[in-house]
Amino acid sequence: MRSGVTATQIFDELLAHNTLRSAALLDYTSLRTYQVVDPKGKVHAEEVGRMEYRAPDQKTFVVTSEKGSGVVRHFGAEPLIASEIETATGKQHHDSAISPAKLHPRAAG
């Protein structure tokens, strides 16, 4: 810890930085490849597409190509993609944030 700085000051700086970052992040698009691979390295299914984020909490996945077994994609890749989208919009997204209350649960009230 920096000399003369309290834990409260550090958390205040962290929360202020997170607020600035969230305000600045309006949208992004990322090319993603999801593969279901067996232990020998054989690819059984693949979904390629664009993950699109729009502030404050919307994600969508637009499939641009698919290969391999439809059943494996349905039970392997699609739940993973859905989980990532849900994390951006759901409670899990906020639960991963560092906060004083999580370090000191009794102090949270």
Number of domains in the chain: 1
The verdict on residue 38 lying in a domain is yes
The verdict on residue 1 lying in a domain is no
Say if residue 108's pLDDT is above 90: no
Residue with tokens 């641009």: 64
Say if residue 65's pLDDT is above 90: yes
The verdict on residue 55 lying in a domain is yes
Q: What is the pLDDT of residue 71?
A: 93
Q: What is the pLDDT of residue 102?
A: 66
The pTM (predicted TM-score) of the whole model is: 0.59
**Taking CA 90 as the corner, what is the angle to CA 105 and CA 55, rounded to the nearest 5 degrees?**
110
Confidence grade of residue 22 (pLDDT, cut at 50, 70, 90):
confident
The verdict on residue 8 lying in a domain is no
Q: What are the C-alpha distances in Å from 87 to residues 1, 54, 83, 96, 97?
A: 31, 14, 6, 10, 12
The verdict on residue 61 lying in a domain is yes
Range of the domain at 90: 26-108
